[in-house]
Amino acid sequence: MFNSSRSGSAAATRRLTLEYKQLSAPDSLFPACGPIDERDLLHWEALVPGPDDSPFEGGVFTAKLTFPASYPLEPPVMKFDPPIFHPNVYPDGTVCISILHAPGDDPNMYESSSERWSPVQSIEKILLSVLSMLAEPNVESGANIDACKMWRDDRKGYEEVVRKSVREQLGL
């Protein structure tokens, strides 16, 4: 079924296979998430819905998840493609949230180790954290300085930019 050499270590393959089965279940919150090619479990795609009561509401955003062969000991990288305008998303689309930061102590002493990645986290928890991030940015730890500044200084303008990009992304 899955090619272990393309899918990473045996531990990563087992864990990703289990998470894929859970996300594919009928009651999953994120059924549109899984490997791009089932022979390569290290590269996934997820469709992330815009949270209700946020400027992203109504949108559906494509994100790529790239897992290291050491997963679940190390976190994946998540990147919106195309990029979205958000304080916690780098201009290239890479998501910057605590749960995706390497385990252990933060060298900048901003995050506690309990906020960072640990093997008990899951893809579903990442996606839930991203939904929360979309609705409530953390501008204290910004990845996109322009979006942070606009969110702080001109919230209405920020929301207009996001809503416009949602409409464009939907072809409206």
Q: Would residue 96 show up in a list of annotated catalytic residues for this protein?
A: yes
Phi, psi of 76 (to 5 degrees): -75, 170
Task: Tell me the residue ranges of DSSP E strands in 12-161.
Answer: 33-37, 40-49, 60-66, 77-80
Q: Which three-class secondary structure state does DSSP give residue 159?
A: helix
State the catalytic residue, choosing from 48, 95, 96, 147: 96
Residues in contact with 62: Cβ distance below 8 Å, sequence separation at least 6, in sequence order: 45, 46, 47, 48, 80, 81, 82
Residues noted as catalytic:
96
